[in-house]
Homo-oligomer: A and B are copies of this chain.
Amino acid sequence: MPGIVECVPNVSEGRRLDVIDGLARVITATLGVRLLDRTSDPDHNRSVFTFAGEPDAVERAALALIDATYKAVDMRGHKGEHPRLGAVDVVPFVPLAGVTMAECVALAHRVGAAVAATHHVPVFYYANAATRPDRVRLPDIRKPEYEGLAAFLETTHVPDEGPRTLHPSAGAIVIGARPPLIAFNIELDTTDLKLAQRIAKEIRESSGGLPAIQAKGFMLTDPPRAQVSMNLLDHTVTSLPRVWQEVESRANAAGVRVLRGELIGLLPLDAALAAAGAALKLDGLVRDRVIEARFLE
């Protein structure tokens, strides 16, 4: 069987609903892929699409989405809370079933070569598709952001594919292959951005916090609220309940309540079951202990 790949492109448009709807239609119009989720945030000014299908179909949908986004989004007018390098900021491919990570790396490299050739946009490969150790972590690649990248394209940020000049409207793009991750945010009942930033710094791996955790503090505007935004790169190493507890205890210690969690994209079933098992002190709440008609058909 040809297997199933998930693709989770992050696009730098989270406000113009007609544009975002159009991009979603580009995905749903591609034969053989299913759009599983879309999440847009106006403060981040960013949308995350989750779709899946056989590798060939996913490749076609990713290229069509990139093409449509480059036509619709101009980075010269883009403002948003979330760091980004380009109109299509990051495109990860995730092996879900019957596909190896190596095949997803090859897929990422094919898409990157096509984007460079077609659109003349600088391409960086990250995560399992990275070509150098300092390109594994997305935050390292993204640090200069769109506004600062041009200055580094001849030095630290020589692209893996494409020109050493920033594309004026499209910026640059990061493409890669990675295991499933969980994008999970926690909203705090405060407008104290510094608190969210401090908590993020304390819990993220790169500052000596929890393994396999990336975190950043953001400010949301409607309603105004500080947010700890996280990626759980491996929930079997640091789980959702652990992250929740670490954020909540720090917020509470500062006299601030935790308001709600927010999931960007989809949650792997195993992680959901682990969170339920922890809440109910049920050891070994794994797939085989769950009944669902779709598992039996």
List residues of chain A with CB under 8 Å of any chain B CB.
Answer: 4, 6, 34, 36-37, 50, 52, 96-97, 180, 184, 240-241, 244, 258-263, 266-269, 272-273, 275-276, 278-283, 285, 287-297
Excluding A4-B296, A258-B281, 16 further A-B contacts by CB distance (< 8 Å) are A4-B297, A6-B291, A36-B288, A52-B296, A97-B293, A184-B280, A244-B279, A259-B281, A260-B282, A261-B282, A263-B282, A263-B285, A267-B285, A269-B292, A272-B273, A279-B279
In the bound assembly, the distance between CA atoms of A282 and B194 in angstroms comes to 24
In the bound assembly, the distance between CA atoms of A76 and B281 in angstroms comes to 37
Q: Which of A6, A36, A96, A269 is the most central at the interface, judged by chain B CB atoms within 10 Å of its CB?
A: A269
Q: Is the CB of B261 within 8 A of A290?
A: no
A209 CB to closest chain B CB (Å) equals 19
Q: Nearest residue in B to A293 (C-beta to C-beta)?
A: B97
**Inside 8 A of A282's CB, which chain B residues have their CB?**
260-263
Q: Is the CB of B295 within 8 A of A294?
A: yes
**Inside 8 A of A292's CB, which chain B residues have their CB?**
268-269, 287
Q: Nearest residue in B to A269 (C-beta to C-beta)?
A: B292
**Inside 8 A of A52's CB, which chain B residues have their CB?**
291, 296
In the bound assembly, the distance between CA atoms of A241 and B279 in angstroms comes to 8
- Interface residues of A: mostly helix, strand, loop or mixed? mixed
26 contacts between A and B (CB under 8 A): A4-B293, A4-B296, A37-B289, A52-B296, A96-B293, A97-B296, A240-B279, A241-B279, A244-B280, A260-B281, A260-B283, A261-B282, A266-B289, A266-B290, A267-B276, A267-B285, A267-B290, A268-B290, A269-B291, A272-B273, A272-B290, A276-B276, A276-B279, A287-B292, A294-B294, A294-B295
In the bound assembly, the distance between CA atoms of A275 and B258 in angstroms comes to 18
Q: Is the CB of A275 within 8 A of B281?
A: no
**Inside 8 A of A258's CB, which chain B residues have their CB?**
281
**Inside 8 A of A259's CB, which chain B residues have their CB?**
281
In the bound assembly, the distance between CA atoms of A260 and B279 in angstroms comes to 10
> Given the known A-B contacts A275-B279, A275-B280, A276-B273, are A289 and B267 also in contact in the complex, defined by CB atoms under 8 Å?
yes
A8 CB to closest chain B CB (Å) equals 10
Q: Is the CB of A36 within 8 A of B291?
A: yes
> Given the known A-B contacts A6-B291, A291-B267, are A285 and B260 also in contact in the complex, defined by CB atoms under 8 Å?
no
Q: Which of A273, A285, A292 is the most central at the interface, judged by chain B CB atoms within 10 Å of its CB?
A: A292
**Inside 8 A of A281's CB, which chain B residues have their CB?**
258-261
